[in-house]
Chain A
Amino acid sequence: MAKEKEQKQPMPPLGAWVPAVALGWLVPGGGHFLLKRNGRGALLLLSVTGMFLCGLMMQGAMFQPQSGDLLTTLINTGGFLGDLCSGILYLLSVWFGYNQPDMAGHVHDYGTKFLVTAGLLNVLAMVDVYEIAAGRKD
Chain B
Amino acid sequence: MPKMNLSHFEAAFLFALFTSVVLGVVTKRTDRDRLHYGAYTFVCFLLALFGLGWLMYFGHG
Closest-CB distance, B20 to chain A (whole angstroms): 9
Residues in B with CB closer than 8 Å to A110 are 6, 8, 11-12, 15
Interface 1/0 per residue, B4-25 and A, CB below 8 Å: 1110100110110011011101
Residues in A with CB closer than 8 Å to B4 are 54, 57-58, 107
How many residues from B make CB contacts under 8 Å with A?
A: 19
The size class of the interface chain A forms with chain B is: 20 to 34
A117:B19 contact, CB within 8 angstroms: yes
Known contacts A47-B22, A113-B15, A121-B22; is-contact A137 B6 (Cβ 8 Å) = no
Tell me whether B29 is interfacial, beta carbon within 8 Å.
Answer: yes
User: Which B residues between 1 and 54 are near A, CB-CB below 8 angstroms?
Assistant: 1-6, 8, 11-12, 14-15, 18-19, 21-23, 25-26, 29
Closest-CB distance, B23 to chain A (whole angstroms): 7
